[in-house]
Structure 1
């Protein structure tokens, strides 16, 4: 959603997720790697869910999978995946893949019935064999109650400080994304621990300016040399090919390199 510029997570396919999984797996050998099952790859049946989960481990290099929701079909899918020998992390509260029925990105657990549903769903996922549950966008007392009721860890995102652990989208916490589109979808619970986006923007602006003024690349960033003798030979060979302007360009570049390395305005 963040990386691909979508308004929701729904357009992302399992194949796209597998590409991300493989990239992470190549660079991270120590952490427990959990791959998300994307929308549309596990809802039809437990068989479909198991097949998709197998791909995430075999093709994506993950150690476990995560699936969203607590409807009976999701509980059955989680149980089937666990029975297939694959570790499963559950996800309750705001489930981004279910925004069609939730009416958007809306927090959950704000009424008695909704809060009880969050806890009951988390317990059901634990009973299905999940090793952990994500609690997203629920009030802190609800997250605290769910964490207390469970024997497995909870991972909070927008769920207050009483979960077993916490997670944020790193693009959000680093302040990487500066585009107005991203500002529109940045969640309220996200704290920016850095402002990397402004640093990136300044670096790109400086790069653009130096390219336009031809101060980059300068001598220190033009490391590959050709001797004066070879330049003359190169220019003569170009002349014989009928490429006089190219020969002149090569000679002028060699002369500039011996001076300040900066091209003339009409080069």
Structure 2
């Protein structure tokens, strides 16, 4: 939402938007597992609505699994979706759809709650769980206890896997950079310089040149 569509957060994202973008991802995939995020209010209202939306998103997007946010409070929802043969990835810790309740994007340090949420997600049938903005010691403890993989987003080096938003990794979003983000290249500057050079060459009559022009 905030990366592609310019929303202030993920809350305005719709099921239709997720399906559209995921279809494009699926077309470019050769072997990677494609997981589609269930947007805010697409699974919280009722189990029936959660199942209906999960089924639609899998059917229309081509993804192979859904991801939804929440721990113990979402265990019944996870189980309901898994019971209709749709794989579910969990997401605990800092859950972006709950930012108003959490008071913003803050590190989540409640050890007992995080452990309870992680256990509940696994017991409900999730095949993996994202740990976002969790202290590394707690993430390590969860990873060692669970039998399903943990995927870390700002959760230290002990998780089974790691996630970075590609736009952060490539330096496309300007100077804002959370502590857990590592920028591997500054593509924003490279792209900006290329566009400036293009504009300059057009104004000076350098582009298009002979090699870019059709003849009779």
TM-score normalised by length of structure 1: 0.79
Of residues 197, 200, 204, the one that matches 2:195 is 204
* Higher mean C-alpha displacement, 50-59 vs 92-101: 50-59
Query: Are residues 1:155 and 2:151 paired?
Result: yes
Bigger RCO (CA 8 Å, 6+ sep)? 2
Query: Counterpart in 1 of 2:45?
Result: 44
For the aligned residue pairs, the C-alpha RMSD in angstroms reads 1.0
Distance 2:181 2:158 in 1: 16
Query: Are residues 1:115 and 2:143 paired?
Result: no
Distance 1:85 1:39 in 2: 22
* Larger Rg computed on CA atoms: 1
Deviation at 1:71, TM superposition (A): 4.3
Query: How many residues matched?
Result: 215
Deviation at 1:3, TM superposition (A): 1.4
Query: Counterpart in 2 of 1:29?
Result: 30
Distance 1:116 1:64 in 2: 28
Q: Secondary structure at the match of 1:59?
A: helix
Cα displacement string for residues 175-205 of structure 1 (whole angstroms, at most 9, x for unaligned residues): 0123xxxx44x42210101111111111111
Q: Secondary structure at the match of 1:189?
A: coil
Query: Counterpart in 2 of 1:16?
Result: 17
Query: Counterpart in 2 of 1:191?
Result: 182
Distance 2:215 2:51 in 1: 58
Q: Secondary structure at the match of 2:88?
A: strand
Cα displacement string for residues 134-188 of structure 1 (whole angstroms, at most 9, x for unaligned residues): 000010000000001100000000000000000010100110123xxxx44x422
What is the 5 A alignment of 1:33-112? Answer: 33-72=34-73, 74-109=74-109
Gapped regions of structure 1 (runs ≥ 5):
227-267
Deviation at 1:211, TM superposition (A): 1.2
Gapped regions of structure 2 (runs ≥ 5):
none
TM-score normalised by length of structure 2: 0.97
Query: Are residues 1:225 and 2:215 paired?
Result: yes
Q: Secondary structure at the match of 2:61?
A: coil
Distance 2:191 2:121 in 1: 41
Whether contact under 8 Å (2:87, 2:127) holds in the other structure is yes
Distance 1:24 1:149 in 2: 33
Cα displacement string for residues 73-124 of structure 1 (whole angstroms, at most 9, x for unaligned residues): x111110000010000000000000001101111102xxxx11111110110
